Amino acid sequence: MAPRAGRFMRGCVRRSDAILAAAVLIAAALPAGAAPQRVVSMNLCSDQLAMMLAAPEQLVSVSSLAQDPRLSPMADQAAAYKANTGRAEEIYLMRPDLVIAGTYTPPATVAMLRRLGIRVETPPPAEDFDAIRADITRMGDWLGQPQAARDLLARFDADLAAARRPGGRGRAALYEANGFTSGPDTLAGSILEAAGYANIAADHGISATTTLPLELLVMSDPDRLITGAKWPGQSQGEAILDHPALAAFPGRAQVTDLNWTCGTPFVTRAIRSLE
């Protein structure tokens, strides 16, 4: 190795060691059990729960997706926060003492932040209402806001009870881009059941999210067809939603995806969208 290259590599190592030491010192300065003071969320779903539960000035950044009104029911509130694009470097420079990522956050990003001594939590996506309740409680614990979590949980339970409809409203099908459907063991399936509909996916042995051939959908003859909102020009996979066979279904509804995407209290809006 040339002398100049060697000096450069030694300099990089020293800088890396200094960054790691600084991160460890910041973490050590916090009293054990203290509520985090600088929280960064980098996941659309955790963004929403964090905004609902964080104390003033506790949450310093949310993902850029949270500010997109096509995806986020809290886009207006999210505009008050610094947006991040989920890169470890930008998040580290915000000096967080807690980062809330997600199951699908790139593992390299999570690993890098943890190597820098930053606490990172990765909640799984909620696929039913009990999981939403657990997420609210867990987020409250992470933020050191258990009372706020209990209050939100009480409001959610009351709103969910008011939004539920008795069963027997008929058979319904969920159909998305690329011919995907969602079975009973999914958040969309839970929403459909709470709205009083039987899910035709179960008739075909589908419990999670997978493709449903258009022919099977047509032969199932559901009483109601529920499709996702389209983003024109974004994906050829959405072309199937324009198929003439789908246009012939009575009671077709185009749902607003932003209330269906995340396991948050906004799922009650999704239930009501099927009234």
Which CATH number is 103's domain given? 3.40.50.1980
pLDDT single digits (tens) 139-190: 999 999 999 999 999 999 999 999 999 999 999 999 998 999 999 999 999 9
pTM for the model: 0.84
The answer as to whether 199 is a domain residue is yes
- Identify the domain boundary among 110, 125, 140: 125
CB 177 within 8 A of CB 183: no
Range scoring the smallest mean pLDDT among 3-12, 27-36, 247-256, 258-267: 3-12
Name which of 206, 131, 126 is nearest 174 in CA terms.
206
The answer as to whether 17 is a domain residue is no
Residues 177 and 120 in one domain: no
CB 101 within 8 A of CB 110: yes
The answer as to whether 88 is a domain residue is yes
Q: How many helices (H) and strands (E) does the chain have?
A: 11, 11
Q: Looking at mean pLDDT, say which of 8-17, 117-126, 238-247 comes out highest.
A: 117-126
Average pLDDT, the chain: 88
Domain with 66 in it: 35-125
Count of domains forming the chain:
2
CB 20 within 8 A of CB 117: yes
The answer as to whether 158 is a domain residue is no
Q: What's the pLDDT score for residue 254?
A: 72
Q: What's the pLDDT score for residue 242?
A: 85
Residues 102 and 179 in one domain: no
The answer as to whether 55 is a domain residue is yes
Residues 119 and 57 in one domain: yes
Mean pLDDT to the nearest integer, 37-65: 97
CB 17 within 8 A of CB 37: no
Residues 40 and 119 in one domain: yes
Q: What's the pLDDT score for residue 193?
A: 97
Residues 121 and 195 in one domain: no
The answer as to whether 256 is a domain residue is yes
Longest dimension (CA), the chain: 79
| Sign of the CA dihedral with 67 first, then 194, 138, and 55 last | positive
Mean pLDDT to the nearest integer, 104-110: 95
The answer as to whether 116 is a domain residue is yes
The answer as to whether 95 is a domain residue is yes
